[in-house]
Amino acid sequence: MDYQIITNKTYSYFSYAKINLFLHITGKRDDGYHNLQSWFQFVDLKDTLSFEPIKHHNLLNLKSNITIGTLEDNLIYKAALSLLEYGSNPQAIEVNLTKRIPMGAGLGGGSSNAATTLIALNEIWQCQLTLDQLMEIGVTLGADVPIFLYQHAAWAEGIGEKLTKKPYKEQYALIIKPPFHANTKEIFSHPLLVKNKPSLSAHDIKDPEHLENVFLPVINILHPEVRHLLSTLPDKASFKLTGTGACFYLLSTDFDKLLINQKKLEKGVDSWIVKTLNFAPVERCDPA
């Protein structure tokens, strides 16, 4: 079948990255997944997604400024498919993705793109789903998708879908992307990964500074080059891992402090100095 154009308007949205201020595994569930505890905050490193209705026999065409692999494996495509049955105007869509968030970095770029797609197509296709309904769909696509639908810095439990609004001080972050891809399956199956951290109370935790990411020791074992990469930096002991890797970040209200660390990095290592955010709205934007 050919999907007809109902409107030729292009809709553009930002799609933000996140960091984990800490990340614990508290146990294994009956369904085989693991219960987590984390504290999410956003950063203003972001992709842009533009949605343009087209006349086409395919539901979705995806273009990007980078190579993104097979369409069927992409979370943008999977998010679109998950909404198809709810849409009153299921037009074919061409998505132009301007990718700035590195992939496989622990920054949630793919999950953020999926959340943005759900919100955008909910409007374009007139699905009329509530945010709670979108969250239920989102968690089936990936454990990090709900936080991007939620759009607020939050304490997370369950597999990441139980969210409680919890802001943290907004400041700067130096994000470093080591030159390797962290394999989540390999990391989760590592015998030294701690999977039984005691549960914490969101009310009791005021500052995540001394809380850890349980995946860091495993990353250090599997990728010892990380230690060398950070060893030359003035504040090497203060860097934290986000997600299951591979990005590390340093928080500070002092921009110059982060700049000094950034300038000490080896040539060719990707890095960004960004602002942290407690609110990352998924709303229409000027794509310029």
* pLDDT tens per residue across span 235-250: 999 999 999 989 999 9
| Phi, psi at 138, each rounded to 5° | -60, -40
Which among 105, 117, 93, 77 is positioned nearest to 248, based on CA atoms?
Answer: 105
Strands, E assignment, 168-278: 172-177, 240-241, 248-252, 270-277
The one-character DSSP state at 69 is -
The predicted model scores a pTM of 0.94
Per-residue pLDDT band at 1 (split at 50, 70, 90): very low
* Total length of the chain: 288
List 18, 46, 177, 240, catalytic entry? 18
Residues contacting residue 204 through CB under 8 Å, at least 6 positions apart: none
287 within 8 A of 16, measured Cβ to Cβ: no
Secondary structure (3-state) at 88: coil
In order of start, what are the domains of the chain with their CATH numbers?
Answer: 8-288 (3.30.230.10)
Q: Rg for the chain (alpha carbons), in Å?
A: 19
43 within 8 A of 101, measured Cβ to Cβ: no
Q: Lowest-confidence range among 83-92, 135-144, 161-170?
A: 83-92
Amino acid at 111: S
pLDDT computed for residue 191 by the predictor: 95
List 46, 47, 144, 166, catalytic entry? 144
Taking the C-alpha atoms of residue 209 and residue 22, their distance in angstroms, rounded to an integer, is: 8
Residue 18 appears among annotated catalytic residues: yes
- Mean pLDDT value of segment 36-65: 92
* Phi-psi label, residue 275: left if phi above 0, alpha if psi -120 to 50, beta otherwise: beta
Whether pLDDT at 6 is above 70: no
Average pLDDT, the chain: 93
Whether pLDDT at 69 is above 50: yes
Whether pLDDT at 5 is above 90: no
Q: Lowest-confidence range among 53-67, 184-198, 206-220?
A: 53-67
Whether pLDDT at 8 is above 70: no
Secondary structure (3-state) at 114: helix
Residue 144 appears among annotated catalytic residues: yes
- Mean pLDDT value of segment 254-258: 98
Question: Residue 174's beta-bridge partner residues?
Answer: 250, 273
* pLDDT tens per residue across span 97-149: 999 999 989 999 999 999 999 999 999 999 999 999 999 999 999 999 999 99
